[in-house]
Structure formats: C-alpha cells, structure tokens
A and B are shown apart, each in its own frame.
Chain A
Amino acid sequence: MIRISVARRIVQIICFVLLVYGGYIFKDWKESAETSQQKIFPTLKAPEGSVSTTQFEKGSILWPSGATPVIENYPPSLVCRFNPKGGMFKACIMHFLSENLTWQTSFKYLLPYITLFIALCFLLGRVWCGWVCPIGTVGDFLTYLRRKMNIPVRRFPERFRLNLSITGYSLMVIALAISTVIGMPNYARFQCYWFLPYCQICPARLICPMFGLIKPNWKDFSTGITTCFTILAWIVLGLFVAAFYFGRRVWCHMCVVGLINSWFNKGSGIELHKKAIKCIKCGYCADACPMGLTAMYQLNRDAIYNQAGCIMCMRCVEVCPRKGCLNVSFFGKKIGNMQRRTLDAKKVSEPVRRNVA
C-alpha cells in the first residue's frame, strides 16, 4: 500500500494542476458546463449596472491587467473564482459569501450552493485544507525547501497558534461587514474599491496567477484605498511566505476559508480514532502534526478525535509506531492500515493454539 504522505503529495499536485491550469485544459468545456449546470445551480450575477462589475472591467486591484477574456474567466487567473460572470460553484467560500452579500442576492438562489458546500464539508471535513488547497500546496513546497536547506522548524507556542484563529475570525467579520455595507444603495459608490475586501489581501490572488503564467496586479497606487490594499496585500503575502517557510502550517490557523471549513470538522464523514491502550505516549503524532496540535497525544481514552484545527493530513496516523493505535474511518468504515509499511512484521500468522489439559 502506498504511504499516506506520498498519496497526499500526489493528490495535492493533481489538484493544483487542475485548479491552476484547468482553464487551459478545459477551454472548450466552458459552454457545455455553463448550460448543463444551469438546471441545478441558477446563475448568480451582479445586479444590472452594478458599480462593482463595471469598475471591474476597467480593472481594479483584483483584476489581472492584460489578461485575455477566456483566461480571465477560467482558473489560471484566479483559482478561487471559477467564473466571474456567475453560474459555477465557487471554490472559495469566502469569495462567494462576500460577493453575494454585496450583490444582495436572494437567499433562494444561494441555497443550492450553500447546500452543496455544507454537504461537501460534512462528507470530508477539512480535507480541503490538507489535500486540495492550492496555496497550501505552494506552502508545503516552501516547507520542503526549508527542510532541504536544513533550517530547523520554528515552533510557535500553542497559545499563539490558538490566538491566530481569533485574528482569522476578526478578519472574516470585518470583511463580511464591509461587503454588506457596500451593498447598501447609499454606499454603492464605494463598491469599486471595497468590493471583495478579503480577496484583495488574500495571498492566493498574487500567488496563483503566477503559476498560471499571468502577471497579477501587484501594485495600484492610484488612490489612497488601493494603495492601502496594495501594501496590506504585500504584508500578508510576506507573512504567508514566512509562516510556511519557518513554521509548517501556522498560516492555516488564521486562514478564513479554513476556519469556515473547521466548523464542520466535528461530525464529518472522516474520523480519526484513538485506541488509548496502545498508546505509549512517544509524542511522534504531536511532533509530526503540521498544525502543531497536541490533543491527539493528550487523549487518555478511546475516542474519536476531530479537532477544529485538524486538516486531515493523517500524518499522525502514518508516524504512529504502535500498530492499531490511530485509525481513520470514513462513515464508520475503517480505512486500511495507513502506517509505514516497513515497520509491520513481515508475516502475521495465527496465534498458536494450545490444548492445556
């Protein structure tokens, strides 16, 4: 059986290629996709003459300048925004929420999208973060580079890491509040600058287009607000690179999309089990956890362990030296032995049967 970390790398790379280069690969798919999904998912569009869309076409900090329209509509430009004209399910929930709050889309149009999102979340929990997220993949590559350069990992205290989620929640509240306010008619004139406030500083906006061989809008000093956003975006990008290069997945503690996913981690289809009697408290699981979680290590009873911070990378299951201590199940069904192959005894025969008179 393939090692779980290798499997995860493969899935990450495939997802990265699909999300970032999907626009090149599925160029002709656009028409058919748009028509077929109309039945289930109604088109979500900006209202007629909305400031946000008209300004968008002229180019704002969000929009890569000089991109041809076809590419613009499809992933290489922005992975989070599958189709800016509306219609398709957005990969990024934060983008989806802010956009529709501004547009004041009726809830009945949003319902299918939200249902699909919640269903996926319940099915997989935070698997998105550990296995799919394209900027997580970029970050993991940075971590790989650091390891090759023999620079020790910087371990942040647990308290600091937990407080990062407070930062993330504050960012989320601020971004959604701004999105709601600029949707009101009185404040509509601010839409051209404040539209999708979180996306303007999100590192994915700058990182993903680079892999799609498109120049992202690095700087816009035309007005005070765009200047602020430009500088903020640089700072956030710097923090992102530093967080992934020196720590492991410290960034994911404050990622807003990850936080929304984490609400569904408890009770999702994928579950981590611990069998306490097998545990020898060696601490390999706590050491290997890229999120730096120690709850799995501290558990002293048999339990299902799905913590909000867990990104389901299953690294803990892989490194556990005791066979059968940590297990993964999908809807109660145990997924085979995920531990390192080399450590199992070669042949497991039946225990010797004895007849003691």
Chain B
Amino acid sequence: MQKKFLSQYEEMLLKNLKCSSSDSDNIPDHVLVEYMKKSNLSSMEGFYQEILDFERNGIDNSEKPVGFFCNIVPEEIMLACSLRPVRLCCEDYGCGSKGEEIVPGDICPVIKSICGKFYSNTYDNLEVVVIPGTCDPKAKLAEILSPVKQVYFLDIGRNSEYLGNVDVWEKKYTQFFQFLKETFHCNAGRRQLLSACKLTNARTEIFRSIYQLRAEQPDSINVFDYYIMMYAGFFMKVEKWNALAGKVYRQAKQIHKFVDKPRVLLAGTPVIFPNFKIIDVMEESGLKMAADLQCISFGRFYNPVLIDEETEAGILRALTLKDIAGSMCPCMLNLEKLVNLMIDTVNQYKLDGIIYYNLRLCQVFELQTALIRQILKEKGIPFLSIKTDLGKEDTGQLKTRMEAFREMIESRKV
C-alpha cells in the first residue's frame, strides 16, 4: 500500500517538475544591469559577469557540482573532495509562484522558490543535493526533491549550546565525508581538508576586512554590491571569489565617503539576489545598512575554522564548532548569543539602530522577534521589525515605516 502510494507520488512530482520548458525561467538580465549601474566600483564587474554566466549557462558538469542549503553543511568537506559546492538558497518571486504548483502557497517562500528553481535548467547538472535538518520545511524539502535528485539529508541536533552535541555533529560530518568519498570515488583525507580550510580561512580574512570597512564607511562598497558579492559566493569557486573580493576591497579602501545618514544593523532573514526589496527601500528612505548578521554573509564567512587537533577527526570537529555551535540560525537554541551579538555589533561600530527583517511565513525568525524587541527596548537601542514577502506590493508601506524609523533615530540624536 505504502509502496504504491510512494510510486504515485513520485510520478506526480516528476511530471510536475519536468514538464515545463526552461527558457525565461531565469532571472532576467535587466534586473542585474539595474544594480550594476548603481555600483561605484569598476572591480565589481567580475561578480556581475559571474552571476550572468551562472544564470544563463548553469554550472559545468565536469566540475562535479554539489548543491547544498544552509551554513550547517560544511563547504570545506566538499572542497576537500574536489567538488564544487553550490548553495541553492533562493528567494526569487518568479520561481516562488512557479513553486506553488508543487507545494501549497502559504508555506516558506524560500522552499517555494527552490521548488520553482528546479524547473529551470540552472541546477540540471547537480549530482547530489545536500539538505540539512535545520528547520521543518528543509526536512520536507529533502523528500520533495528526492525523486528528481540524489539527496543527502544531514541530520543534526539543534541545541547549539550543549557541548555534548559536538560528538553527535562530528559523527554526522564524518558520515557525510564518507558518503562523498564513496559517491565520487575520491581519496580525500587530512591534507585535503587542511588545504580546504586554509582556502575558506583566506575568504574569512577578506570578508572581515570588507565587513569592517563597510561598518565604518557604508558607502565604500554599496549595499547592492555587497549582497551581489555574497550571492556570487553561492556558486563561484572560492579562489576566484577571494581574488575578486580582494580586488574590490583594495579599490573600495581608496574611497573615503563620509555618510551623513543613520547607519543601521540588518539582522534576520538573508537577503538573496534578486529579492533586494528590503535594501532598495532602505536606500530610498535614507538608511545605510552598515553591518549585518545574516546567514549568507556574516554567518557564512565571519567565523574562521580554527583547528586544534590536526587530525581528520579534529578538523571535522572544528568544522562542526564553526558551522553549528557558532551558528546564528534561529533554528538552533541561540537567542541569547544572537541578542548579545546584536548589542555588541551596535556598540562596536557605533550604529544607530537595528532593523530585523523577517520574510513572511518563516516561523522561527518570527517567533523570536518579540523576545529580541523586549531586550533591545530595555537596552535603549532603536529596533524596527519588518515582515514582508517576496512580492513588491507593500513597498510603499515599508518605505513609510523606514522613514519614520529614520526620523525617530535622527530625533534621538539631536
């Protein structure tokens, strides 16, 4: 009975996912060009070019691309197996509405977009998709995608403040490493892992420089360029990203632009290209995004891998500490340290307020908003919680709220 049901389900999914043609499903070029025009750095061109290439041609099969979601999946392990990690997180309105053919409309917009994205030919060449068990929609996504792709489900314990869980995570990572080695017939070990960690640590170093520069002078690299860089990091080779980002940093360092506008910290749901609505509105209403605590930028790049035991198990353990224990993902138990981090970042860079961006229908981000608001109110830090979805309908309303927030900050200053 169960088997019969499963086969029917698979057939239905396959029919749904494979039926549509792939043309005009990708992000149109003119969206990208619009942001390219706003850039004041010539060195950013490389990133835009990379994104254009990716959206048009997808990834070459010869590089063994492996798709993954979330920071919880360790890139270093995939790099050590000489695979090409491609992060699949997606917030595209067009893809989202297509995804509604497979999944119901009133669920996580990221899941909808991802399901829609699998219509297009961008991800055709992926050999394996790694999905972590962070939130509930991700766990179900593993089942939804399993008929079309080979899916590896990375299950983890969610209490990030309990050290006993490190052993569990280490075991999971070891299994994952074993799986990749067997699937792709490679002989990776300690040395490969070490060189992969070296690569990502170099990336961390560049990212920290950029983060520091932006926190002090938000206009040196404008916010669109910043998120374009982060989006390009989803699929670009790490060496290439490092080289290009280094070039951007060196050019941006020369520009000294003093900002007269309130600088704010953007926390909450990640801003993924092409869903730049929130930062568009922020720019228009005169708020400068100086720092962020999102998982695609800060969460992914800020923490280095610090290896104490240079054995294979020791490196995997260090990776779990970086990716899971130090994670700011709301799926984990980490509200206290997230609030600490917010307050600390605001104090360190002398920021004016916090905007907490929440993509509608993401429950975990939404649940902790009230708690964060309460603590920050006690601390006297201006806090604005924004809840919106992928659509563009509420842009005007958002702008009004942001402007009111800006005026509130400015009146505090006087």
Contact = CB atoms under 8 A, between A and B. Distances in A.
Given A283-B325, A321-B326, A351-B350, A152 B312 contact: yes
A173 interface: no
B317 A287 contact: yes
B410 A343 contact: no
Interface residues of A, number: 42
A115 interface: no
A333 interface: no
A351 B304 CA distance: 24
Contact of A284 (B253, B312, B321): B321
Contacts of B163: 283, 286, 294, 297
Interface residues of B, number: 52
B303 A283 contact: no
A277 B348 CA distance: 11
Contacts of A319: 306, 308
A321 B327 CA distance: 13
Interface in A146-184: 146-148, 150-153
A152 B309 contact: yes
Contacts of B303: 280, 282, 321
Nearest to B204: A343
Interface in B145-188: 160-161, 163, 166
Contact of A343 (B205, B260, B336): B205
A284 B312 CA distance: 16
A294 B325 CA distance: 14
A348 interface: yes
A150 B326 CA distance: 25
Main secondary structure of the interface of B (DSSP, over half): helix
Contact of B314 (A152, A354, A357): A152
A349 B216 CA distance: 8
B306 A151 contact: no
Contacts of A315: 308
Interface in B299-334: 302-304, 306, 308-314, 317-318, 321-322, 325-326, 328, 334
Interface in A198-246: none
Contact of A351 (B166, B216, B325): B216
A315 B313 CA distance: 19
Contacts of B373: none
Nearest to A353: B258
Interface stretch (B121-129, B131-139, B339-347): B339-347
A352 B304 contact: no
A93 B344 CA distance: 45
Interface string B87-112: 00000000000000000000000000
B314 A346 contact: no
Contacts of A284: 306, 308, 318, 321, 326
B166 A279 contact: no
Interface in A308-357: 315, 319, 321, 340, 342-357
Contact of B216 (A147, A279, A343, A352): A352
Contact of A147 (B166, B309, B349): B309
B100 to A, nearest CB: 37
A189 interface: no
A356 B190 contact: no
B160 A343 contact: no
A281 interface: yes
Contacts of B344: 277-278
A352 B256 CA distance: 10
Given A276-B340, A282-B326, A348-B212, A147 B314 contact: yes
Contacts of B313: 152-153
B413 A356 contact: yes
A295 B325 CA distance: 16
Contact of B208 (A278, A343, A356): A343
**Which 10 pairs, one residue from A and one from B, show the smallest C-beta to C-beta distance?**
A282-B326, A152-B313, A345-B212, A288-B308, A283-B325, A319-B306, A356-B413, A277-B340, A283-B321, A150-B311
Given A288-B306, A315-B308, 10 more contacts: A147-B314, A278-B344, A287-B308, A300-B336, A321-B326, A345-B208, A345-B212, A352-B216, A352-B259, A356-B260
6 contacts: A147-B311, A153-B309, A280-B340, A280-B341, A284-B321, A287-B317
Interface of A: 146-148, 150-153, 276-284, 286-288, 294, 297, 300, 315, 319, 321, 340, 342-357
